[in-house]
Amino acid sequence: MNTIHEIVLNWGIFERMLAFVLLAPLVGGLLAGIDRKVSARFQGRYGPPVLQPFYDAFKLFQKEKIIVNKFQDFNIVLFLLFTIFSGALFFAGADLLLTIFSLALAGTFFVLGGFCVGSPYSHLGAEREIIQQVAYEPMIILVAIGMYQVTGSFKVSVIAQYELPLILYLPGVFAGFLYILTIKFRKSPFDLSMSHHAHQEIVRGLTTEFSGSTLALIEIAHWYENVLLLGMVYLFFGFNPWLAVFVALATYLFEIFIDMNYARFKWQLTFGSSWLFTAVAGVSNIIVLSLMR
């Protein structure tokens, strides 16, 4: 592990980007598979094979392309491209804020895709997706702010190699980040806009009108995004790579646990509680930090 860490440290920007682009879908897909297996076990079921997400994606690529309008898929392609791009930026050690803005851009394309098709379910899913975006956006920016306050830099490469444990300075920010991570992972109780579980009140929400390979692209973008988000969890524990990877994985399991234990919230509660929790945990942490200096 330590040698792996050494090797990664010696990579240049483009090598890291390339590594992310190639490895992230594998890791993300595997995590998704573990998610389904673990979820099934929580429910006393046997569950699908761990590689099931890959099977699903392969199958989706083999399906016929059906569309509602010509341009709907374009938005999804852009969503995927910019998600990959933000992840690559992050793992190349670039500016954390820039990564966040770029990820927001990707999210916007996803929402526009949902609006573009002009279907009621998709439309409602898109509206809810924006509400989710608005709910988590402040906290994500606060993560960057908090890390900047401690390390004095927005560079991911600097933050990741900061010697002191960030988590000790940013416990509130980390708690807030965990909270909105549930939204980002699209887990219950916050999976309003589209859910991985079967029937939902708005069918498949945002993705209702996307099928076949486009749906697979959405899944893959989601894998990339998950890896990126776990990378952000890593930053909090960057002082010890072993611990950091362990915590990142533990966080993922924790989110699965939450997912299994909650029913879906209404958007009012999702939105209100996210902003409130951001204010209580994140903002107070940031203010304490600024007073300490």
Partner 1 sequence: MSVLIFLIVFPLVISLLALVLPRGFHIRKTIGTAANVVLCAVPIYLLVANLDQGPSYFRLESGFVDILIFLLEVLIAGYLIYLSVRAKRYLPVVLVLIQMSMMIGFEFAYGHSIQVEHALFMDKFSIIMALIVGIIGSAICLYGFGYMPEYHEHHPEVKDRRNYFGFLMYLFLSAMFGIIFSNNLLWLFFFWEVTTLCSFLLIGYRDDKASQDSAFRALNMNLIGGVVFAFGIVYLFVTTQTMELDKLLLLDQGTVLLPAVCFAFAGLAKSAQFPFSSWLTGAMVAPTPVSALLHSSTMVKAGVYLILRVSPVMDNTVAAQMLTLIGGVSFLVTALIAISQSNAKKVLAYSTISNLGLIVACAGVNTPAAVWSALLLIIFHAVAKSLLFLCVGIIEYKLGSRDIEDMDFLIMRLPKLTAVMMIGMAGMFLAPFGMIISKFVTLKAFIDGNPAMAIILAYGSAATIFFWTKWMGKIISIRHGEAEVVEHTVSTWEWITLGILAVATVAVCLAFPFISIHVIDPYIMELFNTAPVIDMFNVLVVFAIMFSLLIILPLGLFYYAFINKHYKRVGTYLGGANVSNITFEGAMDSTQPIQLKNYYLEKYFGEERLFYVGVFVSLTLIFIMFGVAAI
Partner 2 sequence: MGWFKRSPWVLHYNATSCNGCDIEVIVSLTPLYDLERFGIINTGNPKHADILAVTGSVNEKSRQVLLNLYEQMPNPKVVVAVGLCATSGCVFQDCYNVLGGVDKVLPVDVYVPGCAARPESIIDGILKACEILEEKYSQRKKTGYPAAKE
Closest Cα to residue 113, out of 104, 123, 103?
123
Which partner from the list partner 2, partner 1, none does 8 bind, CB cut-off 5 to 8 Å by kind? Answer: none
Which partner from the list partner 2, partner 1, none does 36 bind, CB cut-off 5 to 8 Å by kind? Answer: partner 2
d(Cα 166, Cα 113) in Å, to the nearest integer?
37
Which partner from the list partner 1, partner 2, none does 48 bind, CB cut-off 5 to 8 Å by kind? Answer: partner 2
Which partner from the list partner 2, partner 1, none does 98 bind, CB cut-off 5 to 8 Å by kind? Answer: partner 1
Q: Three-state DSSP class for 211?
A: coil
- Please report how close the Cβ of residue 188 comes to partner 2 at its closest, in angstroms: 17
Residue type at position 100: I
Task: Tell me which of 39, 83, 102, 151 binds partner 1, using CB under 8 A.
Answer: 102
The pattern of x and - marking residues 151 through 170 that bind partner 1 according to CB under 8 A reads ---x----------------
Looking at the Cβ atoms of 69 and 290, the one nearer to partner 2 is 69
Residue 244 half-sphere exposure toward CB, CA atoms < 13 A: 25
User: Which residues in this chain contact partner 2 in the complex, by CB under 8 A?
Assistant: 36, 40, 43-49, 52, 55-56, 58-59, 62-66, 198-200, 203-204, 207-212, 215
User: Within its chain, how far is the Cα of 249 from the centroid?
Assistant: 13
Which partner from the list partner 1, partner 2, none does 3 bind, CB cut-off 5 to 8 Å by kind? Answer: none
From residue 141, alpha-carbon distances to 87, 154, 210 in Å are 16, 11, 30
CA geometry: angle 235, 161, 247, nearest 5 deg:
35
Q: Three-state DSSP class for 95?
A: strand
| Tokens matching residue 199 | 């029937």
Which partner from the list partner 1, partner 2, none does 215 bind, CB cut-off 5 to 8 Å by kind? Answer: partner 2
What residues does 95 pair with on adjacent strands? Answer: 155
d(Cα 285, Cα 85) in Å, to the nearest integer?
30
Please report, as ranges, the residues that interact with partner 1 according to CB under 8 A: 64-71, 73-74, 77-78, 81-82, 85, 89, 94-95, 97-98, 101-102, 104-105, 108, 111-112, 114-123, 126-127, 130-131, 133-135, 137-139, 141-142, 145, 148-149, 154, 203, 208-209, 275, 283, 286-287, 289-290
